[in-house]
Structure 1
Amino acid sequence: MSLQDQFIQAQADSKNLPERPDNMTLLKIYALFKQASTGDASGDRPGFTDMVGRAKYDAWSALAGTDKEAAMQQYVDLITDLQG
């Protein structure tokens, strides 16, 4: 199975985890997904009134420079770990 196929499967698996991950793990899942699918963070950082959007942007931005394949692999590994 190719890394791309594993990534797609992990996306599906992420919707059926045995328990809801904590907020920091959810941010990591989001950031790895965005980095793997879109690349480095782009656009303006959300303002202070959008705390969730700001946290998501910051988590994604922290992965700047991580290549898409590495982000895909980390995403797959994280979802696999969370499945227990």
Structure 2
Amino acid sequence: MSLQADFQKAADNVRKLKAKPTDDEMSELYSLYKQSLVGDVNKADPGASDAVAKAKWDAWNKKKGMSKDDAMKAYIAKSKEMVAKYGVAS
């Protein structure tokens, strides 16, 4: 299977987790997903007025410089941890 196919399967599995991951786990998954698809953050810092948007932006910005392939590999690994921890609905 190609890296892209593995990544898509991992993303599909994350959407079917039986329980919601912690905020930290979700933040890590989000940042790796965005880095995989877009690359380095391409939006302005939203500022502190929107705490959720700011947290997402900060998490993604921490991945700056990570290649899309490396981000995909990290996302796949993290998704496997989440599937093992939470299970996947069929």
Cα deviation for residue 7 of structure 1 reads 0.4
Given the alignment of the two structures, is residue 77 of structure 1 paired with residue 80 of structure 2, yes or no?
no
Q: Deviations over 1:52-84 (max 9, x none)?
A: 000000000000000000000000111111111
RMSD, aligned α-carbons: 0.7
Cα deviation for residue 18 of structure 1 reads 2.8
Equivalent in the alignment of 1:30: 30
SS of corresponding position for 1:81: helix
Matched residue type, 1:53: A
In 1, the alpha carbon distance for the partners of 2:47 and 2:62 equals 17
Q: Runs of at least 4 residues of structure 1 off by over 4 A?
A: none
Number of residue-to-residue matches in the alignment: 84
Q: Deviations over 1:1-37 (max 9, x none)?
A: 0110000111110111132110011000000000000
Between stretches 53-62 and 9-18, larger displacement belongs to: 9-18
Q: How do 1:54-69 residues align onto structure 2 when only pairs under 5 Å count?
A: 54-69=54-69
Cα deviation for residue 49 of structure 1 reads 1.2
**TM-score (norm: length of structure 1):** 0.96
Please list every run of 5 or more consecutive structure 2 residues that lacks an aligned counterpart in the other structure: 85-90
In 2, the alpha carbon distance for the partners of 1:14 and 1:71 equals 15
SS of corresponding position for 2:28: helix
Please list every run of 5 or more consecutive structure 1 residues that lacks an aligned counterpart in the other structure: none
- Identical-residue share of aligned pairs (%): 33
